[in-house]
């Protein structure tokens, strides 16, 4: 959510930003907010005038009574009572106007960074850099669930009977590999100076509204029936929510956190052959990183954060690339974002395994996350989030890139301590 003062003073900049995101249906919101804001200020001015007049009249009542002018005093009393009724009416109107303004402000997208490429959707995202050499072996690589089945490592049929489509059982070495990757990711980020956190896996609606757009909420979040609680789609939600209504001393910044959580997502509209198996599912686990920092430091942290993910994947000998998200592919709260994509030897292309986002002050404004500087002045923090790793999707890249012709899967040296020293996984089918 942008600053209403900025919108009031720069309506054309806000409108051009909306055009750059190809959301022309939202252009009218800017004019509506300005009109409502004018009405609100007029309303406020009238309230202040009535209060001033009422206070002045109240002082006259005592003087008139002292002079024995009871009838005049009673007339003034009626005027004061009428003013109070009008003030009450106008105050209620002000609340209604504020609610209407907020509805519209929540739909107007954040001002994107000038470096963001302009494009309609993810097909116009721009490759930035490749890390590692993509390899296509001279033997056929099966679909990832077929690889897992050779290790008796997955049961999606049973999961379907228990929970429906989009769920899975991981078993044996594949389950252990899944947990090993998460444990390694945890320690990898701790070694990079991040504090490890396990957050709540459910959040209230005010936090949901603070961390994401309505469109994201509708397509992602599961609501707990009968309670003001939602299952988190990523630990970023509860991690940023931790700072709601807080004033953070500037000397405590930056706050660098890495969090583990299960994630629950509706995944509305998911389809396609490459979204079978464990590629796009309703439940998965993830290691995340979160930074709360001063505005002037957020872009520096943005670059450090996506590099952490690249370094993590490269430490496991998985080739990756970074992809700059274009304007039309950015969620409304994001200032700038890039995806990290891993190489798929089977598909002979890259696919998304993580996303790094700078949200500027959007979440902080919604959640009232403020920083108090040395001069006692307060300002909004900047928030950022990034995926370290999200198995089981990451397992697709891992299994494909480490599969050998005999069906075995090699374990990179960095992961061996988390796999009981195993150097290779041998299929039992």
Token output for 118: 């302009």
| Span between the terminal Cα atoms of the chain, in Å | 54
In this predicted structure, what is the pLDDT of residue 74? 66
The runs of H, that is alpha helices, within 198-245 are 205-211, 214-220, 235-241
Concatenated DSSP letters for 334-353? -SEEEEEEEEETTTTEEEEE
What b/e string do you get for 122-157 counting C-beta neighbours within 10 Å, with b at 16 or more? Answer: eeebeeeeebbebeeeeeebebbbebbbbbebbbbe
Concatenated DSSP letters for 118-182? P-SSGGG-EEEEEES-----SSPPPPHHHHHHHTT-EEHHHHHHHH-TT--EE-HHHHHHHHHHH
Place of tokens 């002018």: 69
Q: How far is CA 30 from the centre of its chain?
A: 24
- β-pair type (247-249, 230-231): unpaired
In this predicted structure, what is the pLDDT of residue 269? 52
In this predicted structure, what is the pLDDT of residue 18? 98
CA distance 389 to 123: 23
In this predicted structure, what is the pLDDT of residue 320? 98
What b/e string do you get for 50-60 counting C-beta neighbours within 10 Å, with b at 16 or more? Answer: beeebeeeeeb
CA distance 335 to 353: 20
In this predicted structure, what is the pLDDT of residue 420? 96
Contact, 290 vs 385, CB < 8 A? Answer: yes
Largest separation between any pair of C-alpha atoms in the chain: 109
Fold classified for 4-105: Helix Hairpins (1.10.287)
Asked if domains 4-105 and 122-425 share a fold, the reply is no
CA distance 248 to 255: 10
Concatenated DSSP letters for 358-400? E-TTHHHHHHT-EEE-TTS-EEE-EEEEEEEE-TTHHHHHHHH
Class at the top of the CATH hierarchy for domain 122-425? alpha beta
In this predicted structure, what is the pLDDT of residue 64? 63
In this predicted structure, what is the pLDDT of residue 271? 46
In this predicted structure, what is the pLDDT of residue 76? 67
Token output for 387: 């995926």
Q: How far is CA 76 from the centre of its chain?
A: 56
Give me the tens of pLDDT residue by residue for the chain, a chain 429 residues long: 899 999 999 999 999 999 999 999 999 999 999 999 999 999 988 888 888 777 777 666 666 666 777 777 667 677 777 778 888 888 889 999 999 999 999 999 999 999 999 999 999 999 999 999 999 999 999 999 999 999 999 999 999 999 988 899 999 999 999 999 999 999 999 999 999 999 999 999 999 999 988 777 878 899 999 999 999 999 999 999 999 999 999 999 999 999 999 999 987 554 443 457 888 889 999 999 999 999 999 999 999 999 999 999 999 999 999 999 999 999 999 999 999 999 999 999 999 999 999 999 999 999 999 999 989 999 999 999 999 999 988 999 999 999 999 999 999 999 999 999 999 999 998
Angle between helices 172-191 and 298-315 (to 10 degrees): 140
What b/e string do you get for 401-426 counting C-beta neighbours within 10 Å, with b at 16 or more? Answer: bbbeeebbbebbeebeebbeebeebe
CA distance 338 to 390: 16
Domain-wise residue ranges, the chain:
4-105, 122-425
- β-pair type (320-324, 126-131): antiparallel
């Amino acid at each position: 959510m942008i600053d209403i003062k900025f919108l009031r003073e720069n309506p054309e900049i806000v409108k051009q930003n909306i055009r750059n995101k190809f959301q022309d249906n939202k252009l009218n919101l800017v004019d509506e907010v300005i009109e409502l804001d004018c009405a609100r200020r007029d309303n406020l001015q009238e309230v202040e005038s009535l209060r001033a007049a009422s206070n002045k009249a109240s002082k006259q009542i005592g003087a008139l009574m002292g002079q024995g002018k009871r009838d005049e005093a009673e007339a003034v009393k009626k005027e004061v009572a009428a003013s109070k009724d009008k003030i009450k009416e106008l105050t209620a109107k002000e609340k209604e106007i504020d609610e209407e303004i907020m509805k519209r402000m929540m739909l107007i997208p954040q001002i994107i960074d000038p470096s963001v490429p302009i494009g309609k959707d993810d097909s116009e995202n721009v490759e930035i850099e490749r890390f590692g050499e993509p390899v296509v072996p001279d033997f056929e690589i099966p679909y990832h669930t077929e690889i897992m089945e050779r290790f008796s490592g997955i049961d999606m049929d049973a999961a379907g009977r228990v929970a429906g489509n989009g769920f899975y059982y991981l078993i044996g070495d594949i389950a252990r590999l899944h947990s090993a990757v998460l444990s390694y990711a945890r320690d990898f980020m701790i070694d990079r100076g991040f504090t490890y956190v396990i957050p709540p896996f459910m959040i209230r609606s005010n936090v949901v509204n603070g961390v994401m757009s309505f469109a994201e909420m509708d397509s992602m979040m599961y609501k707990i029936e009968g309670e003001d609680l939602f299952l988190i789609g990523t630990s970023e939600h509860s991690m940023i929510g931790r700072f709601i209504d807080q004033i953070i001393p500037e000397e405590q910044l930056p706050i660098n956190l890495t969090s583990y959580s299960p994630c629950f997502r509706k995944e509305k509209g998911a389809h396609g052959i490459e979204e079978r198996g464990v590629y796009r599912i309703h439940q998965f686990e993830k290691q995340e990183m979160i930074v709360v920092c001063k505005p002037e430091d957020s872009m520096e942290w943005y670059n450090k954060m996506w590099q952490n993910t690249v370094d993590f994947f490269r430490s496991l000998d998985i080739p990756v690339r970074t992809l700059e998200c274009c304007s039309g592919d950015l969620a409304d709260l994001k200032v700038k974002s890039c995806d990290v994509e891993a190489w798929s030897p089977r598909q002979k292309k890259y696919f998304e395994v993580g996303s790094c986002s700078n949200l500027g002050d959007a979440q902080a404004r919604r959640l009232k996350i403020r920083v108090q500087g040395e001069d006692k002045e307060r300002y909004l923090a900047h928030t950022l989030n990034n995926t370290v790793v999200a198995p089981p999707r990451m397992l697709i890249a891992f299994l494909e890139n480490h599969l050998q012709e005999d069906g075995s899967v090699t374990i990179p040296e960095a992961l061996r301590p988390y796999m009981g020293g195993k150097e290779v996984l041998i299929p039992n089918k």
